[in-house]
A = this chain, B = another copy of it.
Amino acid sequence: MLHQFLPTHYHHALGPYAPVLTVRPGDSIATTTVDARGFDQRREQVCPRGNPMTGPFFVETAEPGDTLVVRLDRIVPSRSYGWCGSSVAPNVVDPVYVRELPEAPLAEWNVDAVAGTAKLIGPPSRLQDLTIPIEPMLGCFGVAPPRKQAISTATSAEHGGNMDYRGFVAGTTVYFPVFEPGALFFLGDGHAAQGCGEIVGSGIEISMDVQVTLDVLKGHAIGWPRGENAEHIFTVGNARPLDQCVQHATTEMLRWLQQDYGLDPLGANLLLAQCVRYDLGNVFDPAFTMVCRLAKRWLPAA
């Protein structure tokens, strides 16, 4: 079943809040998200800034210890105006270089969802023209955290949150551990495009039309967000420093390979040894993100 849902309020933390809609496993939801500063498709501010979330959606049957399955069906910019930071974040450069970072207004982009391009409009610099392909993604999404916590959309942890991984595009399926009855799924912070690391503190921020399909894996517990697309499976570690993200993501991948792909510890280690890839998610937030990725072609036959 496909639900059409238009949000009337937004959350700035992921927590055990009252659901806005209850769906059945397998249902789809078509909804909208505002940009990171709370502006909608008309460029009107409908809520305070700070990665406002649409949701939460309650998924029937989901209980703590299960896994929520989120298929990203469609992520399409709902307006043409995008913006991003114009300076690399101070924590991403050498401390002595901070004084050399420019101080400029937000950069503005003209996003053409039909042509699939984003064109940099300003502020003026020697860069002049820059037009890049869009790759619409969700920067921040996930479920209610454990222990009845409510965690700011500025950061991320086991429950997901502000991971800013370029792989969260339409066609990707994401798995989250369930900590609350109904899972309580939130989404927002759409980016028309984004460099690795979200090093200016933002992608090309824009409002989105989003469709997701939600499902539940009963009695299947995971430790960190996982995902897959046509070619890869991947695990997501959210922490600081990046070294710890690598530890979380790698451990989760080793567990996955043994849990679902029939490998023994040695087999799982040998497989990762020469086939693993890592991607950088967010390197700007309180918690950073690293992704451990493995091509499906190397997975053992079922």
A residues lining the B interface (CB < 8 Å): 12-13, 15, 50, 84-102, 104, 107, 118, 120, 123, 125-128, 130, 132, 146-152, 154, 193-197, 199-200, 203-204, 239-244, 246-248, 250-251, 254, 262-278, 280, 283, 286, 288, 290, 298, 300
Q: How far is the CA of A55 from the CA of B204 in the complex (A)?
A: 43
Of the candidates B130, B147, B197, B286, the one whose C-beta lies within 8 Å of that of A278 is B197
Q: How far is the CA of A137 from the CA of B70 in the complex (A)?
A: 38
Of the candidates B94, B126, B195, the one whose C-beta lies within 8 Å of that of A277 is B195
- Pair B266/A104 contact, Cβ less than 8 Å: yes
Of the candidates B241, B270, B276, the one whose C-beta lies within 8 Å of that of A240 is B241
Count the copies: 4
Report B-chain residues with C-beta under 8 Å of the C-beta of A89: 95
- Pair A151/B151 contact, Cβ less than 8 Å: yes
Minimum C-beta distance from A29 to chain B (A): 24
Report B-chain residues with C-beta under 8 Å of the C-beta of A271: 127, 130
- Pair A125/B266 contact, Cβ less than 8 Å: yes
A13 and B248 contact, Cβ closer than 8 Å, known pairs A98-B90, A196-B278: no
